[in-house]
Amino acid sequence: AQKITQTQPGMFVQEKEAVTLDCTYDTSDQSYGLFWYKQPSSGEMIFLIYQGSYDEQNATEGRYSLNFQKARKSANLVISASQLGDSAMYFCAMREGRLNSGGYQKVTFGTGTKLQVIP
Amino acid sequence: DSGVTQTPKHLITATGQRVTLRCSPRSGDLSVYWYQQSLDQGLQFLIHYYNGEERAKGNILERFSAQQFPDLHSELNLSSLELGDSALYFCASSVGLKTGTGTSGNTIYFGEGSWLTVV
């Protein structure tokens, strides 16, 4: 079973509009973290936002916010006021596991959503 | 600039050869992750090191090996290279102490990647 599912291979949004990129996850761990990354055509992977499983408030970073619905196991990224520079691939990722007591951590990525912002 | 340094940025080599990719994590980060990104396989987790110890293995081939040194830099060795090994190889790092709450200590930052072309 897929650990991270991004069901939207591609999306279009009008400049200055808001857009939501979907992400659902699957884990049996109680302690986990969810990430969103942006990958422009140049290839680098840019960290956008992080949500811990115990964080009660939804994470926000500037124009990015993470709509975390724990019971539904979803962690959607909302980009407000889209800009042309937002055109890129967006990846949702999850970190499971503990480092305490010799534990491990594994980070799994979804297949990505290609966002194109239209002027 | 994420603070994670990867060298070389681009590498072209022949089938059957061996290459070493190097990663310097962000200052203070103890965890190092290696990922392979290819067009047909997406972003694949290879291996995770924490403070010099291997902690988790993903889809890493036996022809590939990695290590993290006492100064926390890491190397990914790829041997007996095949055409299918052509990909973008990412190193990422984090403080890696906690999972589940807050951004501090949990954010995973990626380097710019090493583009490997096997001809």
In this predicted model, what pLDDT tens digit does every residue of B29-63 receive, in sequence order? 888 999 999 987 788 989 989 889 998 888 899 99
Provide the pLDDT for residue A101. Answer: 44
- Interface size A-B, in CB pairs within 8 Å, comes to 92
Residues 2-41 of B with CB under 8 A from A: 2, 31, 33, 35
Averaged pLDDT, A48-67: 93
Q: Which of A17-21, A106-110, B13-17, B51-55 has the lowest mean pLDDT?
A: A106-110
CA–CA distance, A82 with A98 (Å, rounded to integer): 36
CA distance B92 to B102: 19
Per-residue tokens: B12: 């072209």
* Ramachandran region, residue A48 (left: φ > 0; alpha: ψ -120 to 50; beta: rest): alpha
Q: Is the pLDDT of residue B82 over 90?
A: yes
Q: What is the pLDDT of residue A111?
A: 93
> What is the pLDDT, as a whole number, of residue A102?
47
Q: Which of B91, B58, B55, B52 is nearest to A44 (CA)?
A: B91
Residue of A5, A39, A89, A107 to mutate, testing the B interface (most B Cβ within 10 Å of its Cβ):
A107
pLDDT (0 to 100) of residue B30 = 87
Q: How far from B113 is each of A39, B8, B9, B45, B72, CA to CA, in Å?
A: 11, 8, 6, 14, 18
Q: Where are the beta strands (DSSP E) in chain A?
A: 4-5, 10-14, 19-21, 24-25, 32-39, 46-52, 60-61, 64-69, 74-79, 88-96, 106-109, 113-118
Q: Which of A24-33, A75-84, B79-88 has the lowest mean pLDDT?
A: A24-33
Nearest-Cα distance to chain A for B44, in Å, is: 8
Distance from A82 to chain B by nearest Cα, in Å?
23
Per-residue DSSP letter, B72: S
C-alpha distance from residue A29 to each of A20, A73, A103, A106, B27 (Å)? 26, 12, 13, 12, 29
Mean pLDDT to the nearest integer, A27-32:
87
Gap between the Cα atoms of B42 and A111, Å rounded = 6
Mean pLDDT rounded to a whole number for chain B: 89
* pLDDT given for residue B99 in this prediction: 54
CB contact under 8 Å between A109 and B42, yes or no, is yes
pLDDT of residue B74 exceeding 50, the answer is yes
Inter-chain residue contact A111 with B42, CB threshold 8 Å: yes
What is the band of A98 on the pLDDT scale with cuts at 50, 70, 90? low
pLDDT by residue (tens digit) across A59-68? Answer: 999 999 999 9
Contact B91, B23 (CB under 8 A): yes
